[in-house]
């Protein structure tokens, strides 16, 4: 179709018809389409001009840049070897394919690696997401972004949002708490860092929390893409997050203190106006004032849960000093010497930013500015608090607020963002800490009592209550002598060094369907805290029930957890497969007509000759003599009576074919051409349908998953 060859338009307004604002709780009827939104707000301009948020000579370009659409960015993820291959594909194929294309002005779009992101693994395009979606010239790029995102090998993430995890300096052994984690792009990044050494089961873990139950299922979706046994998703108000404990070898428990904490707090979000232009209509100084309290409480709780010597990163996508430096200053002052601001300003060479503000004004809703709390009009004293004001001039040196990092849109064509790194240098005043923790434990105990009481309700009331609150299925870890384990262990010759107690199911009674794997540390965390912490999800799928009477074991291997259990699987069920054979298997997407074994190479035929029917592992090892870390791929396969096949969904198939240099043309569909071929009569109708479909599939995929996840749970529990 190629109806609109939009290219990248500077100062363009969002032009979609069917791209409604998606702010939480906004009434459908009051939403304006993006193209109707006027990107003006007098108060916004006056407020930031007066605050001196950037140099006066830059102010016009700051505002002008803020009015433009945000360019699309993505990050390459995956194991080191896969990421290396993906980078080659991006550089050699993707960019070349786009560079051949031109926009209305005849210029090819600029696609470049973000200079401050390590190893060229993050890329920015001078195209908006909508440009890519709606422009026939970029259909290959769009297909690439969709399938690789689904597969988990790229993450479409805003450039500035990639910064907090980088500054957190995560090591694979770290215990990490992500306090406000949904939808989970930073959680994904933290998990990738945990797996940076390609260790199948790192000793560290990520606890990802969000207060919003539905949004927790977006986290489930994110975590699932990364196949990690080292993540637990929990659902609490992080300002009052109960203490977590771990069980020691002597059976006693000790409080978990985290090595790293990410506080990517809820905020007024005026740094995201390029992506969410409806904020232009709603912005007032009160938005920031309203967030300051909860932001402070979350950060304080994060520091309480942090190990001495550990780091916490505080971030917002707001420009407002009340949500940023004022929160940092307040916490530094209240914790009086127990935490310090780390100078991270040189951690990301190439990143352009402004140093944190050391002084600011506090403004009322109607834009009256105050230097001190004493000046504040009585009527504003409930919304403006004394702690929102900057340190006195003589105290500025003590706080080093200039070590904070504020990124503005005009500096490198991104969204606006604020980030600060804090280090805990000594224990907090234990009296206050334990008081708050005790209160929170009481709160958690109350919640678990509530759940017990609920179990005693009559059946119909219980059903109704369960519909109102989402109830998770239990996390049932394997006991020493788990019946199904014996069969699995003997079929796959799993080594005794594998701890089967780290396997779990989600049902107490009845047939076990899926078996999940967690790391030992995550198992300990879940088992020890299950009565006080609301766990939403944990574990990567390792085995799936498969009642095929030809197989001597009732469970097949799942791809999700294969990399984690691979080192423990015996050689008997491993088949080494050359590239051409693997491509043949991947190109066969009809399970009823799997490639006959006799059509595969002799190497494969020899290996499968005496292999009993059923689940097996296919291993591809790249043939590279000088490369120290060749590409290795593990796939869950099936040895049939006369055929061999692999278990792969469409996106993973396309991904693997790409990595192997196979032909993906049958998957790389030009939806514009297809629509033309279908002789779509009403052009406008097509466009709207396309856009709606894409929006649903792409931007709102997580939300849909969250909803369906929640709905499934309701169905299950009722």
Binding site for ligand SAM (CB under 6 A): 161, 179-186, 209-212, 215, 237-239, 264, 266, 294, 298
Give the nearest distance from C-beta 462 to ligand SAM in angstroms: 28
Q: Of 264, 269, 289, whose CA–CA distance to 211 is shortest?
A: 264
> Residue holding tokens 């709603």?
282
Of the pair 271, 662, the CB lying nearest ligand SAM is at: 271
Cβ proximity to ligand SAM, 209 vs 615, nearer residue: 209
How many other C-beta atoms lie within 10 A of the C-beta of residue 714? 15
How deeply is 404 buried, as exposed, middle or buried, from its count of CB atoms within 10 A (0-12, 13-18, 19+)?
buried
Distance of CA 699 to the CA centre of its chain: 14
β partners of residue 125: 111
* Residue of this chain nearest to ligand SAM (CB atom): 180
Owner of token pair 């506090």: 362
Helix, strand or coil for residue 176? strand
- Pairing label, strands 535-538, 175-178: unpaired
- Least distance in Å: CB of 102 to ligand SAM? 34
Cα 239–Cα 260–Cα 290 angle in degrees, nearest 5? 30
Residue closer to ligand SAM, measured from CB, 181 or 577: 181
Beta carbon of residue 524, minimum distance to ligand SAM (angstroms, whole number): 23
Tell me the closest approach of the beta carbon of residue 664 to ligand SAM, in angstroms.
Answer: 30
Is 553 assigned a catalytic role?
Answer: no
Of 54, 98, 216, 317, the active-site residue reads 317
For residues 19 and 35, what is the distance between their CA atoms, to the nearest angstrom? 9
Task: Give the sheet arrangement for strand 614-621, strand by strand.
Answer: 574-576, 614-621, 632-639, 644-646
Nearest approach, Cβ of 211 to ligand SAM (angstroms)? 4
Q: Please, which residue, 215 or 330, has the CB nearer to ligand SAM?
A: 215
- Torsion over CA: 622, 625, 630, 632 (sign): positive
Q: Given the complex with ligand SAM, which of 205 and 478 has the nearer CB atom?
A: 205
Give the C-alpha separation, 395 to 509, whole Å.
Answer: 63
**Contact (Cβ atoms closer than 8 angstroms) between residue 602 and residue 612:** no
Query: With contact defined as beta carbons under 8 Å apart, do 125 and 71 qualify?
Result: yes
State the nearest-atom distance from the C-beta of 1 to ligand SAM, in Å. Answer: 33
- Residues comprising the binding site for S-adenosyl-L-methionine? 180-186, 210, 237, 264
Q: Are 329 and 399 in contact (CB under 8 A)?
A: yes
The runs of H, that is alpha helices, within 175-271 are: 185-194, 213-226
Smallest distance from the beta carbon of 85 to ligand SAM, in angstroms?
26
The first and second tokens of residue 268, run together, are 């007024």
Q: 30: burial class by Cβ within 10 Å (0-12, 13-18, 19+)? A: exposed
Residue 243: CA count within 13 A, CB half-sphere: 18
> Residue 354, SS3?
strand
Nearer to ligand SAM, 264 or 563 (CB): 264
Identity of the residue, 109 or 184, whose beta carbon is nearer to ligand SAM in the bound complex: 184
* Binding site listing: 180-186, 210, 237, 264
Whole-angstrom Cα distance, residue 680 to residue 497?
Answer: 60
Residues classed as catalytic? 317
């Amino acid at each position: 179709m190629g109806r609109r060859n939009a290219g990248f338009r500077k100062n363009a307004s969002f032009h979609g018809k069917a791209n409604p604002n998606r702010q939480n709780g906004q009434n459908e009827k009051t939403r304006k389409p993006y193209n109707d939104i006027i990107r003006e707000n007098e108060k916004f301009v006056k407020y930031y001009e007066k605050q001196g948020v950037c140099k006066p000579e830059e102010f016009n370009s700051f505002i002008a840049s803020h009015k433009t659409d945000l360019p699309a960015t993505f990050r390459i993820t995956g194991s080191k070897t896969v990421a290396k291959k993906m980078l080659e594909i991006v550089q050699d194929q993707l960019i070349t394919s786009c560079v051949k294309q031109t926009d209305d002005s005849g210029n090819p779009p600029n696609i470049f690696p973000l200079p401050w992101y390590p190893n060229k693994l993050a890329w920015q395009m001078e195209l908006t997401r909508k440009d890519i979606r709606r422009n026939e010239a970029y259909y290959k790029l769009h297909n690439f972004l969709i399938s690789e995102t689904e597969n988990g090998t790229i993450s479409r993430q805003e450039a500035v949002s990639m910064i907090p995890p980088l500054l957190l300096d995560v090591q694979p052994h770290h215990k990490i708490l992500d306090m406000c984690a949904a939808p989970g792009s930073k959680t994904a990044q933290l998990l990738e860092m945990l797996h940076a050494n390609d260790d199948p089961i790192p000793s560290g873990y990520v606890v990802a929390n969000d207060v919003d139950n539905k949004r927790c299922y977006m986290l489930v979706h994110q975590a699932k893409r990364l196949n990690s046994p080292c993540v637990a998703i929990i659902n609490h108000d992080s300002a009052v997050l109960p203490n977590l404990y771990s069980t020691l070898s002597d059976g006693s428990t000790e409080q978990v203190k985290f090595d790293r904490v990410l506080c990517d707090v809820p905020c007024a979000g005026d740094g995201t106006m390029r992506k969410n232009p409806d904020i232009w209509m709603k912005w007032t100084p009160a938005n920031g004032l309203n967030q300051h309290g909860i932001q402070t409480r979350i950060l304080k709780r994060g520091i309480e849960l942090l190990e001495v010597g550990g780091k916490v990163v505080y971030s917002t996508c707001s420009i407002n000093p009340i949500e940023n430096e004022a929160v940092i200053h307040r916490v530094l002052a209240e914790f009086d010497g127990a935490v310090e601001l780390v100078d991270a300003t040189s951690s990301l060479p190439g990143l352009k930013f402004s140093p944190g503000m050391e002084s600011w004004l506090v403004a009322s809703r109607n834009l009256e500015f105050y230097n001190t709390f004493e000046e504040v009009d009585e009527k504003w004293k409930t919304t403006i608090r004394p702690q929102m004001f900057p340190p006195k001039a003589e105290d500025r040196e003590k706080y080093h607020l200039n070590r904070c990092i504020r990124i503005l849109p005009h500096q490198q064509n991104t969204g606006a963002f604020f980030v600060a790194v804090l280090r805990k240098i000594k224990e907090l005043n234990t009296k206050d800490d334990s008081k708050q923790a005790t209160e929170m434990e009481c709160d958690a105990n109350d919640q678990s009592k509530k759940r017990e009481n609920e179990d005693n309700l009559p059946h119909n009331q219980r059903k109704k209550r369960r519909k109102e609150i989402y109830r998770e299925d239990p996390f049932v870890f394997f006991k020493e002598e788990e019946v199904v384990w014996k069969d699995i262990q003997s079929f796959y010759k799993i080594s005794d060094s594998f701890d089967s107690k780290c396997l779990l199911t989600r049902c107490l009674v009845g047939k076990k369907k899926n078996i999940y794997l967690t790391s030992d540390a995550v198992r300990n965390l879940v088992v020890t805290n299950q009565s006080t912490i609301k766990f939403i999800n944990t574990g990567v799928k390792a085995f799936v029930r498969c009642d095929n009477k030809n197989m001597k074991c009732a469970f097949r291997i799942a791809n999700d957890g294969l990399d984690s259990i691979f080192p423990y699987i015996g050689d008997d069920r491993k088949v080494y497969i050359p590239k051409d054979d693997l491509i043949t298997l991947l190109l066969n997407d009809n399970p009823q007509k799997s490639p006959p074994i006799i059509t595969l190479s002799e190497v494969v035929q020899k290996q499968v000759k005496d292999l009993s029917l059923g689940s097996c592992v296919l291993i591809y090892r790249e043939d590279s003599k000088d490369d120290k870390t060749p590409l290795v791929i593990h796939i869950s396969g099936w040895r049939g009576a006369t055929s061999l096949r692999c278990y792969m969904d469409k996106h993973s198939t396309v991904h693997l074919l790409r990595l192997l240099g196979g032909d993906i043309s049958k998957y790389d569909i030009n939806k514009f051409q297809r629509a033309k071929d279908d002789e779509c009569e009403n052009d406008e109708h097509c466009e709207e349908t396309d856009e709606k479909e894409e929006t649903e599939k792409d931007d709102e995929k997580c939300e849909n998953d969250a909803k369906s996840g929640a709905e499934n749970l309701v169905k299950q529990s009722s």
